[in-house]
Structure 1
C-alpha cells in the first residue's frame, strides 16, 4: 500500500490541496444568488438545495486556513466571500448566533440554533481572524462562544445541550440530521465545540474559555471515551447516560488528534500527558475498523454485530492525520504506515480522476457512491484540513 517517504507525502498533499481548492473555486461559487451553491452533484452540476451553515462555515475555515499556509490571494478571495455571506445572510442580528439553513436565494429557511453549527461558525471565524486580523470576525466568534455558555451549557451535569430554537429557547427535535438520535447531548457536537473553543483560544487566550476547554476535556475523559474499549460513545441523556451502541471509526481517529491538540493549545501539561496516552489508545481502537485495503470502515454496531462496510471520504481524511499524530507521539512506525495507507486508499478509490474532488465514498465492493461532491455535509473541511495539517506537520519535522 502506501510506501512513500514523508517528503513525497508532503509534496503529493500540496498538489492535492491545490486540486481541491481549485475544484471548490470553480464549481461552487454561486454568481446568481450569492455565496456558494448548496449542492453540486458527482458530475459537477449545481443543484437547488438549502444553503447550510455548516457548509458555508467550513468553506470559510478551509480557505482561511489555506491562505495562512500559502498566502495566495485567490484563497483569501474565497474566504472573504464566505465571510460576507455568513455575516449578511446567516447572522441572526436579533437573537445572536447563526441560522441553520437558508433557501437558495438567501431567505431564512430554518432559524434554529444547532450548537454543532454555532461551533463551526466559531471555528471558522477564529481562523478567518488569523488570516485577516479582522476584529469584527473575532468579536463575532467571542459573542457566539458566550451565547453557547449562556444558553447551551448544562450547569447541572456540564456539557452542552444539542439545539435551541431561533431565540435560544427549548426545542423538541434536537437532532443534527435524520440519521441521528434525538438525545440531549452527543459526542459529535462536543467534539466540534472543543475544536472551536481551542481555535478561538489560540487567538484569544481568555481564562474562562480555557476553563471551558478543560471541562470539555474532562467530559471526554469521564463520559464520552469508553474507558475500556477507547471508542467514543455517540449519544447521551442529559445526565450522561449512554444512549448508543454504534462505533464510528472516523470519529474515533478524529477525536484522537483533536483532543490532544486542544490540550496542547491551552498548554495544560496534565491534560497533555493524559490525552497523549489516550490518543494512542483511541488510534488503536480506530484501527479495528481498518480493512486490508487500507480503508477505514464507516461504523460497527456491537449490539447486532453489524458492520457498515462503506468507506466514506471523511474518515479516510481523519485517518491520515490521526495515525500520523499517533506516530509523532509514539515514534511507532506502524502508525506512520497506517497514515500512508489511508492516503494510498484515497488515491486509488476516492479521488475522482475525471471530475475532481473526492467521491462521497465507495461501497463494500469499492464502487463509487453516486452522492454529492458538495452539499449540506460534503464540504472541503475534512480533506482540505487533512492536507493542510499534514503539510504543516511534515514541515515542522523537516525543520528539526
Structure 2
C-alpha cells in the first residue's frame, strides 16, 4: 500500500475526528446542571434530557484522552468540559447499595442528577472508573481524596479512589455477585459472557498504562485471568467465536450458546493485540489475529450488501435479536482499529486490505456530511434506519476512539514507511 493511500486515509480520519469533537462540544454540554446530553438528533437538537452513566463516563474519558495525548485538542474548553462531567458523575452517579452494601453507580439519571435506573451489572462502575482515572491523569490529581471542595465543578475523583472502586468490581466479578442483586435462579446456568472479561481487561490497561512495574504487578493476575476468559470463547474446534460460554469454557445450549457478535469479537481482538504487544507474546498475537480478527470478519461480513452484521447464529438459524441484520456504527469502528493494529504489528498486506474494505464501507455509509458526526443504525442494505447522532447507547466514544486510534497508528506507519 502506498504512502499516498495511507496519507489519504489519515487526512479523512483526522477531518472526521475534528468534526466529531466539534459536534459534541457544540450540542452536548449541559451548562445548567452539568454533565452531557447524549440523546441528540441529526441536527444537534436534544430530544431527551436523560443522562446515561455509561455515556457520561465515556465522554469524560474521551475528552481527557484527546486533551492529554493530542496537541490540537489541548484546549481549555475540552478540559473544563471533562472536569464538569467528572464532577457531575462524582456527585450523582454513585447510589447506595442498601442494607450497608457497597455503593453502585446508576445506569440512568435525570437531567439534574436524580437516579432513575440501576442495572444489576458492573458496567456503569467500569466506565466511571475509566473516566475518573483518565481525568486524574490530566489534572495531576494524586491525593485529592483527602481534600474538601466547595465548588463541585472542580471536585475530581483521584486515581486512588478509582482503584478502590476497581477492587469492588473485581470482587463482584470474581468472588461474589450477590450484592449486585442477582440471585442464582434454579434454571440459570452460570455463564462467561465475553463482555465482562473484556471490560476488566480494558480497565487493567487503563489503570496500568505508564505507571510502571508496580502497577503491572498489582493487576497482572487479573490481566491473565481476563485473557484466559476471553480465549474460552474460541469454540467449534477453533472455527468460531461465541459470545457466551459456560464457566468451564464449554458451549451452552440454545440461542444463547450459538450467539455470535462480530463487533465484540473484533474489539476483543485488538484488546488481545495490545496485550500481546506489551508482553511480546507472538502466540497470543497469532491467536488474536486468526481467531478474533479474521474469523468474525469472515463470518460477519455481508457479502451481498457489505458491512458487518450485528448478531449471527453459528448454526445459521435466524438470531432472536430483532436487529441482528442491521449495520451498526460501533462494530465497524472496532474492525477498523483491529485490522489497522494487526497490520501495524505484522505488516501483512492482507490485513491492510481488510482495513481498506471496512474503511470504504464505513466512510461511505455512516458519516453525515450535512450535519456532522455519524449515523449509528443502518438497514441491512446500508440505508439510514435511525437518524439521531446520540441515544441511550451511542455517545461520544466509539466514533472518536476509533478515529483517534487509527490516526495515531497511521502516524506511526507513515513515520516509519520507506
Structure 2 length normalisation: TM-score?
0.82
Contact 2:235 2:251 in 1 (8 A): no
Which one of the candidate residues 170, 174, 183 is aligned to 1:153? 174
Which one of the candidate residues 71, 76, 79 is aligned to 1:76? 79
C-alpha displacement of 1:42: 3.1
Q: Report the counterpart of residue 279 of structure 2 in structure 1.
A: 268
Determine the C-alpha separation between the residues in 2 that align with 1:147 and 1:213: 16
Unaligned runs of 5+ in 2: 143-156
Say yes or no: does 1:280 pair with 2:297: no
Q: Report the counterpart of residue 337 of structure 1 in structure 2.
A: 353
Q: Secondary structure at the match of 1:109?
A: strand
CA change 1:209–1:88 in 2 (3 A) is: same
Which one of the candidate residues 301, 304, 322 is aligned to 1:290? 301
Q: Report the counterpart of residue 130 of structure 1 in structure 2.
A: 137
Q: Which of the pair has more CA radius of gyration?
A: 2
Q: Report the counterpart of residue 90 of structure 1 in structure 2.
A: 93
Unaligned runs of 5+ in 1: 156-160, 175-180
Which one of the candidate residues 322, 328, 335 is aligned to 2:344? 328
Q: Which stretch of the first structure deviates more once superposed, 38-47 or 273-282?
A: 38-47
C-alpha displacement of 1:218: 1.5
Say yes or no: does 1:100 pair with 2:121: no
Alignment of 1:1-400 (within 5 A): 5-48=5-48, 50-68=50-68, 69-70=70-71, 71-92=74-95, 95-112=102-119, 114-135=121-142, 136-154=157-175, 168-172=179-183, 184-204=191-211, 205-221=215-231, 223-226=232-235, 228-229=237-238, 231-243=240-252, 244-264=257-277, 267-269=278-280, 272-281=281-290, 282-288=292-298, 289-292=300-303, 294-306=306-318, 308-370=324-386, 372-400=388-416
Contact 1:130 1:203 in 2 (8 A): no
- Please list the CA deviations of residues 248-290 of structure 1 after superposition, one character each: whole Å capped at 9, or x if unmatched: 11112111111221344xx434xx2232011221221022122
Structure 1 length normalisation: TM-score?
0.85
- Aligned Cα root-mean-square deviation (Å): 2.7
Query: How many correspondences in the alignment?
Result: 378
Determine the C-alpha separation between the residues in 2 that align with 1:187 and 1:53: 21
CA change 1:395–1:359 in 2 (3 A) is: same
